[in-house]
Amino acid sequence: MSTSPTVPVGTSRRRHTGAAASVAIALAAGLSLGAVPSAFASESHDDVLNAAHRGSSDAHPENTLTAFRAGAEQGADLIEIDVQRSADGELVVIHDTTLARTTNVEELFPDRAPWNVGDFTAAEMQTLDAGSWKGSQFAGEKLPTFTEAIDVIRHSGAGMLLEIKAPELYTGIEADVSADLRESRGYVQSSVARDKLMVQSFNFDSMKTFTQLEPTVPVGLLGTPAISQLPDLATWADQINPHHLSIDAAYVTEVQRLGMDILVWTVNTEADMTRAIDLGVDGVITNRPDVLDALLDD
């Protein structure tokens, strides 16, 4: 793989071409990168994806079926979830690599510290309460299996932004994710065709592995790679998904010029949402999809 490839705009699987075209026009006209945000700002907000971070997680227990349903009801285009693997090989949905923060595992299994996800079977995890930590009204919420999450999100009308969490802890998890996705007949093909399935990770090697298994599914790289790294990454990745405060307009411009999308996280205030939209990002990942939905409708 070349370290300095020439990647024409529009050669990847990007959804949004209007912003990239505006950048190309601006550059051809000799405008500086600082002048580009005005081209983005003139575009319709309809192109900005609303991704509910772990579901509607500001008001609901994160990474639960209740949070996923609420996110879809609140206008999210995508439900962002985190997938790991149990001790007996079942894919489960949870963010932290330990169960302590969002379940009552310490109460039920006091002798199993540090309560790593990978040390518990799927059946053991199904006995946990994953809702009470957020509020008594959520008592009894369970940790979903990945299969359950696929079913609920698929029928909610929203898409899925799937993070493979800490894949270095779970050898071969990329193949497991692919297999579970394929078990839901027609899901991969129909979701990709409607821009409703994307997979991301902080582990770039994992995403290289996944894209070899599922070449039609867009893959995103979490974090903020240096601008000098972007041309090489653009030869195989579809998204760069950084923290929203780690980027500026020039960074957004370069990502999109190379044919990739950019989704930023985790954006929870109206001021930060407005800043991200004005930068011309392709998607905003938020704990408050209802707030973002209202802002995008203005």
Band of residue 27 on the pLDDT scale cut at 50, 70, 90: very low
φ and ψ of 75, to 5 deg: 100, 10
pLDDT digit string (tens) for 80-94? 999 999 999 999 999
Q: Is residue 7 part of a domain?
A: no
Concatenate the DSSP letters of all residues of 250-271 into one string: HHHHHHHHTT-EEEEB---SHH
pTM across the whole model: 0.86
C-alpha span between 264 and 23 (Å, rounded):
19
The reported pLDDT for the residue numbered 248 is 98
Residues in the chain: 298
Q: Is residue 118 part of a domain?
A: no
pLDDT at 282 over 50: yes
In Å, how far are 82, 143, 261, 281, 291 from 218, measured between CA atoms?
16, 26, 10, 17, 27
In three-state secondary structure terms, 78 is strand
Yes or no: say if 227 and 251 are a contact pair by the CB < 8 Å rule: yes
C-alpha span between 23 and 47 (Å, rounded):
16
Yes or no: say if 141 and 125 are a contact pair by the CB < 8 Å rule: no
The CATH number of residue 278's host domain is 3.20.20.190
- Give the pLDDT mean for 107-128: 98
The reported pLDDT for the residue numbered 46 is 74
pLDDT digit string (tens) for 247-277? 999 999 999 999 999 999 999 999 999 999 9
Number of domains comprising the chain: 1
pLDDT at 195 over 60: yes
Degrees, nearest 5: CA angle 245-272-160: 85
Token pair in block for residue 56 = 């509607």
Q: Is residue 62 part of a domain?
A: yes
C-alpha span between 260 and 238 (Å, rounded):
5
φ and ψ of 285, to 5 deg: -100, 125
pLDDT at 95 over 50: yes
C-alpha span between 190 and 196 (Å, rounded):
8
pLDDT digit string (tens) for 147-164? 999 999 999 999 999 999
Q: Is residue 246 part of a domain?
A: yes
Q: Which amino acid is at 118?
A: G
The reported pLDDT for the residue numbered 44 is 53
Nearest residue to 259 (alpha-carbon basis) of 35, 15, 41, 30:
15
Q: Mean pLDDT across the chain, nearest whole number?
A: 89
Nearest residue to 240 (alpha-carbon basis) of 201, 278, 275:
201
pLDDT at 13 over 80: no
Q: Show the domain range for 25.
A: 18-85+156-297
- Percent of the chain topping pLDDT 70: 85
Band of residue 34 on the pLDDT scale cut at 50, 70, 90: very low
Q: Is residue 239 part of a domain?
A: yes
Nearest residue to 36 (alpha-carbon basis) of 21, 54, 23:
23
Catalytic residue, candidates 53, 60, 243, 244: 53
- Give the pLDDT mean for 230-236: 98
Q: Is residue 252 part of a domain?
A: yes
C-alpha span between 188 and 150 (Å, rounded):
11
Catalytic status, residue 53: yes
Catalytic residue, candidates 16, 45, 60, 95: 95
Which pairs from 130-136 meet CB under 8 Å and 24+ separation? 130/61, 130/63, 130/64, 130/94, 130/102, 130/103, 131/61, 131/64, 131/66, 132/104, 133/61, 133/101, 133/102, 133/103, 133/104, 134/60, 134/61, 134/62, 135/61
- Give the pLDDT mean for 230-259: 98
> What is residue 185's DSSP assignment?
T
Q: Is residue 270 part of a domain?
A: yes
Q: Is residue 164 part of a domain?
A: yes
